[in-house]
Structure 1
């Protein structure tokens, strides 16, 4: 989740692709908050290892535009 901006979902997908490769069609969905201030992006992946998940989490949570990672 992060502040709503035109490129936020693209940013999240690019980070995930660096760690997971191609993302299947339909694996990405997004939803704007009620007030329109935030955008949540959901990406379904099949992780290959705990290390992959840890690295992905670190990059996402360390990005200045990302507010929360679940």
Structure 2
């Protein structure tokens, strides 16, 4: 077996998914929207998908952006992880 290279992303990449897991509440949602709008001026908040955990303590928020490059994605990840309400960014 030969190791397989991960798929390469071609930029710009419309519809690029980012999932954020964190403490449930308006703070998480507001943070995700703020960060996405800062890094993708065309971000459409209607694409936001929110799912509560079984006990309602956590939420996963999936957004779709137009990814313009690796630097943009790394900066989004850093900005989201800077908040204590965010647990994981995928």
For normalisation by structure 1, the TM-score amounts to: 0.87
Q: Specify whether residues 61 and 36 from structure 1 end up closer, same or farther in structure 2 by C-alpha distance, changes over 3 A only.
A: same
Alpha-carbon contact 2:47-2:63 (below 8 Å) kept: yes
Unaligned 5+ residue runs, structure 1?
A: none
Alpha-carbon contact 2:39-2:72 (below 8 Å) kept: yes
Residue 31, structure 1, aligned to residue 70, structure 2:
no
Residue 54, structure 1, aligned to residue 74, structure 2:
yes
The structure whose residues are more often helix, as a share, is: 1
Q: Specify whether residues 33 and 22 from structure 1 end up closer, same or farther in structure 2 by C-alpha distance, changes over 3 A only.
A: same
The residue aligned with 1:42 is 62
The structure whose residues are more often strand, as a share, is: 2
CA RMSD of superposed structures (Å): 1.3
